[in-house]
Amino acid sequence: MTLNGRRILLGVTGGIAAYKTPELVRRLREAGADVRVVMSAGAEAFITPLTLQAVSGHRVRTHLLDAEAEAGMGHIELARWADQVLIAPATAQVIARLAHGFADDLLSTLVLATEAGVWIAPAMNRVMWDARAVRENCRVLEARGMHVLGPGVGDQACGEQGAGRMLEPDEIVGQLRGREPVLAGLRFVVTAGPTHEPIDPVRFLGNRSSGRMGFAVAEALAEAGARVDLVAGPVRLATPPGVERFDVATAEEMLSAVSARIDHADGFVGVAAVADYRPASLAGDKIKKSGQPLTLQLVENPDILATVARRRPKPFVVGFAAETRDLESAARGKLKAKGADLIAANRVGQNRGFDTEDNTLEVFGADCHWSLGNRSKRDLARELVAIIAERMQPKEHRNQQ
Ligand code: PMT
């Protein structure tokens, strides 16, 4: 989508990231957009209207009940003028106000009065971003067709690290043009779902993985511009747009499907809940009751993640860890033992992790850690992909390892 000639109404609210908005206005104007700015009272504590007036070339509006300003372009005209409304930074406060349809200040009134698309770039402390109220408010806004940009993951003004940082002006401009293809030109192989290890013609050893998390990761990678091969265990899910899917049943089939596609891959994400063991032999006929205990002998399955991580050149390898206890030490153990670059760990149990819509992830690298609190698997996948994009080294460097 070109921004040339676009009329963008920028709403600035009261967060420290407001200091980046003059740069944002400059970038939007460089892209050809005509930008008018509305500021909340809180935003004025961080940046002056004069600065934004200077960079936008238009008077900045700050109050709903401003007789002088209304004599020029009134708030309804301003709402009609906009092709696109962008709120950056969007605080937890403005997100809550929009979710509840408030109309007691200029910005919230404009959002109610406009027919233009609304895009919000949240900026807040990571714990606030994880707060259930904020997540639910964002979901309400998305369900109404608004677009949530980011937030980014990384160092925060409060000294913490995590998700909640406003996207950089360049990233916002890129996303307004269309989702930023940060992984364009890269190829990924993703595994998803359970494996089924047959015991006899009608029974198998399996687990409760629905495939949702792996499919969400494949979708988020494709959204980020990557070419994605998805190797899926037995699940009932539609293939995400832009993703090529290969269905398998057992761990051995999954390994051979991955091996057939990994040669030219830049990254591998192992989300599948692969059975560690399979029956040593497959009964040719249905096993009958005998009145005696039945012993099944199991043999270990190949470890797909570790096999991929041993390859040279090595793709960027992301594993998952499903744990019922000692999450961090178990995840760090798997990171090292399997040779992964990142491990996304989740607690699993009754109604937790497996076969749920939402989840919580702790992502560990050798020298880094991100906490992604409870949210939809789709949102988690997008944030995980942002972390992957940030951590992936240039291809040439990886090939030397
Ligand atoms: O599918 P959903 O219902 O959405 O649920 C998501 C999930 C709970 C399955 C997912 O979030 C998750 O935790 N996936 C990993 C499950 C798992 O098998 O974890 P693990 O800790 O046993 O294995 C660690 C890593 O090694 C995983 O990346 C796994 O894919 C990989 N592995 C394990 C065994 C094996 N033989 N080969 C492997 O590649």
52 is in which domain, residue-wise? 7-177
Domain-located, residue 154 = yes
**Six-digit token pair at 30?**
């460089």
Give the pLDDT score at 394: 54
Q: How do the pLDDT tens digits run along the chain, 401 residues long?
A: 578 899 999 999 999 999 999 999 999 999 899 999 999 999 999 999 999 999 999 999 998 877 777 767 788 899 999 999 999 999 999 999 999 999 999 999 999 999 999 999 999 999 999 999 999 999 899 888 888 998 887 777 778 777 889 999 988 987 887 665 789 889 999 999 999 999 999 999 999 999 999 999 999 999 888 999 999 999 999 998 889 999 999 999 999 999 999 999 999 999 999 999 999 999 999 999 999 999 999 999 999 999 999 999 999 999 999 999 999 999 999 999 999 999 999 999 988 999 998 899 999 999 999 988 888 898 899 889 989 998 986 544 444 44
Q: How many Å apart are CA 8 and CA 264, to the nearest integer?
A: 41
Based on the fold, state whether residues 245 and 372 are members of the same structural domain. yes
Q: How far is the CA of 271 from the centre of ligand 1 (A)?
A: 5
Domain boundary among 127, 152, 177: 177
Phi-psi region of 330 (alpha: psi -120 to 50; beta: other; left: phi over 0): alpha
Based on the fold, state whether residues 139 and 247 are members of the same structural domain. no
Phi-psi region of 316 (alpha: psi -120 to 50; beta: other; left: phi over 0): beta
- The residues near 146 (Cβ < 8 Å, ≥ 6 apart) are 98, 117, 118, 119, 120
Q: How far is the CA of 191 from the centre of ligand 1 (A)?
A: 9
Q: What residues are annotated to the active site? A: 158
Q: Which residues, judged by CB distance below 6 Å to any ligand atom, belong to the binding site of ligand 1?
A: 191, 193, 209-214, 251, 270-274, 276, 301, 303-305, 319-322, 334, 346, 348, 353-355, 377
Q: How many Å apart are CA 120 and CA 85, to the nearest integer?
A: 8
The residue whose CA is least distant from atom 7 of ligand 1 is 354
Contact 164, 123 (CB under 8 A): yes
Based on the fold, state whether residues 209 and 140 are members of the same structural domain. no
Q: How far is the CA of 297 from the centre of ligand 1 (A)?
A: 23
Q: Number of structural domains, the chain?
A: 2
Nearest ligand 1 atom, CA 343: 28
The model carries a pTM of 0.70
Based on the fold, state whether residues 215 and 344 are members of the same structural domain. yes
Give the pLDDT score at 397: 42
Domain-located, residue 333 = yes
CATH number of the domain encompassing residue 87: 3.40.50.1950
Closest CA to 271 of 349, 357, 364, 345: 345
Q: How far is the CA of 391 from the centre of ligand 1 (A)?
A: 21
Domain-located, residue 182 = no
**Six-digit token pair at 118?**
């609304």
Substitution candidate for ligand 1 out of 271, 277, 325 with most atoms within 8 A of CB: 271
Based on the fold, state whether residues 356 and 374 are members of the same structural domain. yes
**Six-digit token pair at 296?**
């099944």
Give the pLDDT score at 184: 86
